[in-house]
Amino acid sequence: MVMILKNTKSGKDSKICPYCGMIVDISTHDCPIKKRKNNKTAKENRINQRDTDRELTSKRWRIFRKQIILRDGGECQRCLIKLHKHVYTDLTVHHIKPRVKFPTLMYDESNCVTLCRECNLAMGLGGIDFDWDLTKVKIDLDKDLTF
Ligand SMILES: [Zn+2]
Ligand SMILES: [Zn+2]
């Protein structure tokens, strides 16, 4: 919540900056605290991206990915649920909560859904835009699958 205070001297609306807590003109305020926080977030995102990118080449991910796709019937769930069509090619595993923000959910099956490349690109880091049935997302990760 941001409080709006009338600044009678300049006639402008001033606000309390949520980062530094000072009363400022929010349109011109160049907040050093906010800058520092954003830099830190950007750095964390870069590290998470790098680490999880590396993980994408691992055997663990290869097996997990196939299990997710099998669970989802080998087809794009967005095309199926939202667009009512079957797409079985160019499949990817999409992280509903993105890897750069939630690297610990990389192998969380309830965070993963099979999408075709087109849908994956369309969703980007923005979650999903269709109803996802959480009751059917459980998979047997201990099952020994050979591919
Ligand atoms: Zn500030
Ligand atoms: Zn699709």
pLDDT digits (tens, 9 = 90+) for 5-59: 554 455 567 899 999 999 999 889 999 999 999 999 999 999 999 999 999 999 9
Strand partners of residue 23: 16
Ligand nearest to the CA of 83: 2
Strand partners of residue 4: 15
Distance 76 CA to ligand 2 centre (A): 5
Distance 117 CA to ligand 2 centre (A): 7
Residue with tokens 């907040």: 31
d(CA 97, CA 123): 11
Distance 102 CA to ligand 2 centre (A): 23
Distance 110 CA to ligand 2 centre (A): 18
Residue 147 has a pLDDT of 45
d(CA 81, CA 66): 20
Model confidence, pTM = 0.74
145-146-147 Cα angle (round to 5): 120
